[in-house]
Amino acid sequence: MGDAQSGGTLAGHNTPQGQEPTWHESLLGYCGGSARARKAAEDGMRELGRRCRIELNYDVQTNWQPVNSQRVMLWAHRFGLQEAYMSSLARRHFEQRKSASHDATLLECVEEAGLDVNDCRAFLATDELRDDVWKSYGSTIHERGIQSIPLFIFNSPATDGGPFRSGKGNPEMEHGSGSLHRFLEIFENLLKTEDARAAAH
């Protein structure tokens, strides 16, 4: 288990629920151990969140591999309610300090989404879909080459490539930590490419 004193790393999947470090503690490691850099990162993300009417709270306990939350997402998909479940989970985790790594939070979200809580509780008591989640983790990293999220992939009519497409084109890709300048550059490049393609025809 990571904490602020040990360098600020996220807890792994075998960390008992309730013993995970907070997002705030874990960010210290991502910011090179600098409390000043962490504050700047948190303040920047808070400001971006507020533009979308999201009030981010970093004092929530966080696990690097919230397997149960993703198992429940797949379970909820069977009933067509995975979006409602995930919206509820995101709000609780990022704004209300109710960890997405804790089963109690998942059950609250299941109820809000209109799913049967007792059925979900019984599902969580099994290992169903656990292997599917771990396979997805491995595929994302080893087959798709995605090491962190969010990852934005911008294709245009001239491209059809990237980790989720079979085309040979090279899409513009950028992580969520990219600067405003970088995203503007991407859209300008896409526009130039499309203008050149249209002119050639």
Sequential pLDDT tens for the chain (201 residues):
333 334 456 778 788 999 999 999 988 888 889 999 999 999 988 998 899 899 999 999 999 889 999 999 999 999 999 999 999 999 999 999 999 999 999 999 999 999 999 999 999 999 999 999 999 878 877 777 777 778 898 887 777 777 777 777 788 888 877 788 899 999 998 888 888 878 887
Picking from 160, 158, 161, 89, the residue whose alpha carbon sits closest to that of residue 120 is: 89
- The angle formed by the CA atoms of residues 160, 163 and 165, to the nearest 5 degrees, is 35
CB count within 10 Å of CB 166 equals: 7
Q: Which of 180, 123, 175, 133 is nearest to 154 (CA)?
A: 175
